[in-house]
Chains A and B, each alone.
Chain A
Amino acid sequence: MSAGKLELVRHAEHLLRVVQLHPQVRAAELAVADLDECRVALVFEVEMPFDVKARGLSATGVRACEEVEIVIRAGYPWRSPTIYLRQDFPRDLPHLQPSSLDALPRPCLVDGSQDEFFSHFALMESGIIGLLEQLASWLANAAVDSLINPAQGWEPALRGGLADTLIVDSEFLEAEASENGGWTSYRTYYLHSLGSKKGLGVSTFLEAGIEIANLSSKTDKTLFQSQQLQKINGISGTSVMAFITPDPDEDGKPRINDQYLPETVINLTQLHVRAKALGCGRHFREFMEALVKNWTNYQFETAVPITVIFAARRPFHLIGSVSSLEHLPYLFEIYPRPGRRTLWDEPGDDIVKPTRLLSKATPQLFRKLSPITSPAPTAMIGAGSVGSKAALHLARAGVSVTAVTDTLVLMPHNMVRHALVRPALTSGKAEELANELKVLGQKPAVCFEDAVEQLRTPEGRLSLAPENTERVLNSTASLLVREALSIVPKDAFPPRVSEVALFGRGEGAFLLQEGAARNPTIADLLTEMSAHATSAERNLLFNPEHGLTEVQIGQGCGSLTMPMTDARLSAMTAAATEILLDQKPGQKSGTYAIGHRLAGDPSTHWRTVEVGPFVEVAVEGRDGWQVRISPSVDRRIREEVALYPHVETGGLLIGTTSARCQTITVVDILPAPEDSRRTAGLFELGTKGLKTAIRSRHRSSGGSLFDVGTWHSHLADMGPSGLDRKTAAQLAAERPPPSVLLIITPNRYHALVHPNV
């Protein structure tokens, strides 16, 4: 006996010892001990309902004591043992591996790779018992016919382990499936590997397109083509796939195939029988006739792979799908040899194999694989490093990317952090990104124009965000774009606007998502965020050491950018995009999320803050100008007023002013100095310590926030008084930036800016 055999037999004897420990194993013996294969035969007790067990046989044909074989082959224990059931075990059960009727039936015991399952136990013994536990549960379910659970869905036939692969656009075929039955052929591209000495077997990969292949065409010479591929010892070419839907049932209703048919088809005769059993017989015959007719006058040196898919409508939806259509794909070949009688002259020419079926990369597929709450179709403004990465994250989560806008061309230095890898001479970032997204099943529009300009015209706005766009993600980090997106009226530009940007050399990032009806705007949110940043965030946001830096990218060519690694940029962009994808549908308020890396540590800390709508007050004396008061300031002003019910009170307003947006945004207030005077008819803002307080607030905001005016209360519903107007004039005379006089009365706000400035 050779050493190899000794080794395998030793393993088999050990296996035998271990399986006997399982409480449901009634008997076990080493049935075969060969050089390349050892088989342990078991009698396995199946747990069944009491009455079924007493009867000894379940309605599905499972016995109370089942004969089972555990087979180990070369490679064990690096490979899992294989478990087989008896030859006459009922094959019309789901979760059986596809095989011919001659082979022993093999249950599918685990989700995924059985080798991985077997080896993930630390102890080999636990792996063996683990497999028996799976078998116990499989047989118990088979006994009561609950391998398929209607609530969970119809389990499609198992095809994962098959050698040949067909890739289709499942959603497209789903939509094309006719309830009246029929067949359509589509062009396919194939790659047929003839196998190599290194042990790679013969296999075929096919990808079906959505372009119809007209088999009756006399002129189309492109349907069937082939060429030798020396490198892989194979053939590539084009062919056709037939998609066949069943005829309606006798009542004229869509035919339901509720019988689970074992995957045992091995030749064309059996394929015809299977087609008939599924109600697809007539259409399959028609397709085959058309195929034969098409080849009447042609010949080929090589075999041509042909695929067919029968669409079986199941009584309920498939697992993990809303669809009840199961696609059953088969592969066979035709041999159009010179001087032939038929396309299948030689013995074995008519072999049929079921194939693996994979779905094309489509947003629908990605959505199934990525649980997200907000799949709103999104247009990208900015296709730089942050934008390109965010766009790919969105597309891979199945979010439709409707448009990509960027004015710049992809340059060599962009390769440091851009999501795309391109040679030196390429086209614009927007176009390159759009091309990449197309591979993921997306069809984004491309815009090379400046977003601020585009926002001015209806056509421009449509080019930024085509009609079905529900969300815009601005990644330009441009103040101009942010402001333009903040003032464009909601009805002229309906998508919800968001912005993602990095700061502090990638140590920090934020995501802004505007509120419903564009209130708060992303500009409001950024100002609000600046007012409430923590000291760590403030340091990163405003410290010039962490800001933009001129980096030399070629002689005499600077680039204003933040030095950081690609990994850092990806980490922050990914987290921000994740927050965007988790946005609650129908959320009314705006939010800002800000994250920063903890010192000396790759962990990042994020916080998300909801911000309600800003109070909008039209400015008297300045047409088109508006004061926007943050909800927290509004609340604090009202609290202060409540403290002084019988006298006027007031304080200083902190925020920003934008001449382009014609807005004064208030996000903080400073209390009135202690020398202020409060009477029933007058509030006089004191001066003691006020300058210092303003400077300190300005500094602490990194210079982003300053005093934008004052506020005070009126006890009655009266607008600005003569004195108020005089004060406004004084303020206007003292400094060029507009200063607002905000007045709160019991029922509303009034805002006044002197017109002469």
Chain B
Amino acid sequence: MAGSLVFFPVANGDMTLITLDNGQTILIDIKIRAAADDEDDDTYDVASDLKDRLKTDSEHRLYVDSFLLSHPDQDHITGLENHFYLGPPADYPKDSGLIFIREMWSSPLVFRRASTQHVLCADAKAWAKEARRRVQKFKDDKCATPDGDRILIMGKDKDGKTDDIMDIVIEQGGLLTSANRGSSGQFTGRLLAPMLVAEDDELVALLEKNNSSVIINFSLTGGGNADKCRFLTGGDAGVAIWERLWQNHNDSDPDWFTYDIMQAPHHCSWRTLSYDRWSEMGEKVKVCEDARSALGQAKFGATIVASCKPILKEDSDPPHERAKREYVSILKPDTVKGEFICTSEYTNANDRALEFNVTFSGVSKKLRAAAAAAATVGVSAVASSARGHG
């Protein structure tokens, strides 16, 4: 077997699918826009691509084993109600084509912080409702919960709200070892954030403003060999969070930050790397060294993936061209010699999602399927725009 990592092109937003060595799947965030569902719109049809990659269970339901929501912003959860089934497994509408979520990975703390900043979108509210249903189900049935009722909580909630369900809570710094109670040895996931801090109002306010997100450093097994790919993903987590993580763990656990693939946080935004405002200071801005260190532990040959629209110098943040330069500088030294890839730019050039294979020999970019050959030579190019015929 081999594992894989797919970064779907969703412009500014995240949508990532991990397929483990044993075939199980972990989906991280989604952004399935109405335009992508419209077959006459040229927006990449991520929903179909995702569904083509998922397996079907004995009841003919497409499913993901685990679904992690990094944080409840619209560009990370759009399309949930349209494409996923939420509710008791027994009530799944037959032949609906909705994706069945065997196990949710959710963080009430991140939700709490997000809701202090803005009103949650309908998809986010639907996620929260389903998460509450599953937590209640766990309280009722304990570990006997079946597929579709399961949930893991990413990080303790404040005020001891999760103390009675610690069996399903992964604490900050703790390790995820299986997806939907599947076989272990397929991956480990170090939960770096959210951080629960004591009642330090200033710090809480800072974290709330910094787009608190679930941050996990995955170590994936390939071809039966452990740790063949480190994948660091952290939603929209901002500079203060990365700075603080580095300060807290740099001495004791520097290994927690190393990666072969990192998803540049917040769609390659400048606010991940610096407290300075570009709009006010321009090229005089300073990078926060600790945040850069947290994001700079690239292994030899590593790739940084920016899940965003094409990166242009004059465009609004995110993505930010200065941030891209910083990431490229992380990858440049002879000790790294890595590659920076923007998902939208990649898909525009290749007409498919960016994908990596994780095998016994390590992680490499996946070669295209032969079917793509037709697109390369220009089949269907005639139909790509309206053409006058006088």
Contacts and interface: CB of A to CB of B under 8 A. Distances in A.
Interface stretch (B37-45, B245-253, B362-370): B362-370
Nearest to B298: A50
Contact of A129 (B260, B299, B376): B376
B364 A140 contact: yes
Nearest to B346: A23
A146 B374 CA distance: 27
Contacts of B301: 49-55
A50 B300 contact: yes
B336 A144 contact: no
B26 interface: no
Contact of A53 (B364, B374, B379): B364
A746 B145 CA distance: 49
A22 interface: yes
Given A54-B338, A126-B373, A49 B379 contact: no
A125 interface: yes
A18 B377 CA distance: 7
A123 B364 contact: no
A51 B300 contact: yes
B82 to A, nearest CB: 33
A57 to B, nearest CB: 13
A21 interface: yes
Contact of B364 (A47, A55, A128): A47
A125 B364 contact: no
A126 B377 contact: yes
B337 A144 contact: no
B362 A47 contact: no
Given A22-B376, A126-B374, A126-B379, A48 B350 contact: no
Nearest to A53: B301
Contacts of B364: 47-50, 52-53, 140
B contact patch SS: mixed
A140 B367 contact: yes
Interface residues of A, number: 27
A349 to B, nearest CB: 47
A511 B366 CA distance: 51
A215 interface: no
Given A21-B376, A126-B379, A50 B303 contact: yes
Nearest to A48: B364
Interface string A124-159: 011011100100110010001110000000000000
A613 to B, nearest CB: 34
B361 A146 contact: yes
B359 interface: yes
Nearest to A140: B367
Contacts of A129: 373, 376-377
B361 A49 contact: yes
B376 A50 contact: no
Contacts of B260: 50
B350 A23 contact: yes
B302 interface: yes
Contacts of B365: 47
A21 B299 CA distance: 31
Nearest to B302: A50
Given A47-B365, A49-B362, A50-B364, A123 B300 contact: no
Interface in B318-342: 336-338
A18 B373 CA distance: 11
A48 B300 CA distance: 13
Interface in A12-51: 18, 21-23, 47-51
Nearest to B335: A54
Nearest to B228: A49
B148 to A, nearest CB: 34
A133 B350 CA distance: 14
Majority-rule SS of A interface residues = helix
Contact of A23 (B299, B337, B349, B379): B349
B42 to A, nearest CB: 20
Interface string A90-125: 000000000000000000000000000000010101
B373 A50 contact: no
A50 B361 contact: no
Contacts of B349: 23
Contacts of A146: 359, 361
B362 A52 contact: yes
Contact of A50 (B362, B366, B370, B374): B362
Contacts of B350: 23
B338 A50 contact: yes
B377 A21 contact: yes
A146 B364 CA distance: 14
Contacts of A136: 367
Interface string B276-311: 000000000000000000000001111100000000
Given A23-B350, A51-B300, A136-B367, A144 B361 contact: yes
Nearest to A133: B370
A349 B301 CA distance: 53
Contacts of B300: 50-51, 54-55
Q: Which among B361, B363, B374 has the highest number of chain A CB atoms within 10 Å?
A: B361
A136 B363 CA distance: 16
B339 to A, nearest CB: 8
A123 B377 contact: yes
B357 to A, nearest CB: 9
Interface string B16-44: 00000000000000000000000000000
A130 B373 contact: yes
Interface in A44-101: 47-55
Contacts of A128: 377
B373 A133 contact: yes
Given A54-B300, A54-B301, A144-B359, A47 B367 contact: yes
A47 B350 CA distance: 15
A50 B222 CA distance: 14
B366 to A, nearest CB: 8
Contacts of B336: 54
Contacts of A21: 376-378
Nearest to A129: B373
Contacts of A133: 367-368, 370, 372-373
Interface in A695-709: none
Contacts of A125: 377-378
Given A22-B376, A54-B301, A125-B377, A49 B363 contact: yes
Contacts of A18: 377
B346 to A, nearest CB: 10
Report the 5 A-B pairs with minimum CB-CB distance, sorted nearest first.
Answer: A49-B362, A50-B301, A54-B301, A125-B377, A144-B361
16 contacts: A21-B377, A23-B368, A23-B376, A47-B366, A49-B362, A50-B300, A50-B364, A52-B362, A54-B337, A125-B378, A126-B374, A126-B377, A133-B370, A133-B372, A133-B373, A136-B367
Interface of B: 260, 299-303, 336-338, 349-350, 359, 361-368, 370, 372-374, 376-379
Given A50-B362, A51-B362, A126-B374, 11 more contacts: A21-B376, A52-B364, A53-B364, A54-B300, A54-B301, A54-B337, A126-B373, A133-B372, A136-B367, A140-B364, A146-B359
